[in-house]
Amino acid sequence: MILFDHVTKRYPNGREALSSLSFRIGTGEMVFITGRSGAGKSTVLKLIALIERPTRGTVLVGGKNLGALPARQVAAHRRSIGVVFQDHRLLADRPVFDNVALPLMVSGSPLKETDKRVRAALDQVGLLGKERMLPIELSVGEQQRVGIARAVVSKPSVLICDEPTGNLDPDLAVEVMRLLKRFQDVGVTVVVATHDVHVVHEFGQRTLVLEEGRLKSGAEEEPLPSIVASR
């Protein structure tokens, strides 16, 4: 479960990205976070991934209070979540296999197990057979799927995606979202920050709408599709 309890985030330049934001995302739920640029979508993801810490309030992920998590435990927390970016963030000089294997390498997974899980992840995203190719040799959609494979290869309990369909045409965007939905179907909590209204409507998941760092709509109390109903 992810819980934001009156979370305020103020950056060193004085800009307040989130103002007393509160919401809850259930385990295994898929939630969209939408809003205009600067509404605070990315900041929410940064707080979940512990790239930033809240200025005030509490962020709980899997029962851990991230604001109070010691620095030495940050890496372990990040290993428990998967992150997908709009720009993929792939290592250009490494083949697909090495890119996907990265989270397993950092966690010290045995080589045999790494090999098995990377192939399984590539199979899930439909890229098995392309493990020796460099990212630049793949299409944009395929690169995004490599990014997704990397995010899920270590079987995280939470998957956060920052504009995962931002660079894709509508068909590819739907394809990528279906892929993410499949992970939710097997119990992964999926949080997608997007301003792609088409995708949001197409998938009909609960949507948190942010405006100037505050929740405009989408809190749990609102009549949104329940976790069970959305499956």
Binding site for other proteins (CB under 8 A): 42, 45-46, 49, 51, 75-80, 83, 85, 89-91, 102-103, 105-111, 150, 154, 162
DSSP for 39-53, written as a single string: SSHHHHHHHHTTSS-
Q: Residue 25 or 227: which CB sits closer to other proteins?
A: 25
Sheet of 81-85: strands edge to edge? 81-85, 158-162, 189-193, 30-34, 206-211, 214-217
Q: Residue 45 or 118: which CB sits closer to other proteins?
A: 45
Q: Residue 51 or 140: which CB sits closer to other proteins?
A: 51
- Minimum distance of other proteins from residue 81's CB (angstroms): 8
Residue 222: CB atoms within 10 A of its CB come to 11
- Minimum distance of other proteins from residue 166's CB (angstroms): 13
Given CA atoms 58, 62, 66, 70 in this order, what sign does their dihedral have? positive
- Minimum distance of other proteins from residue 185's CB (angstroms): 23
- 84: left (phi > 0), else alpha (psi -120 to 50), else beta? beta
- Minimum distance of other proteins from residue 125's CB (angstroms): 16
Q: Residue 151 or 227: which CB sits closer to other proteins?
A: 151
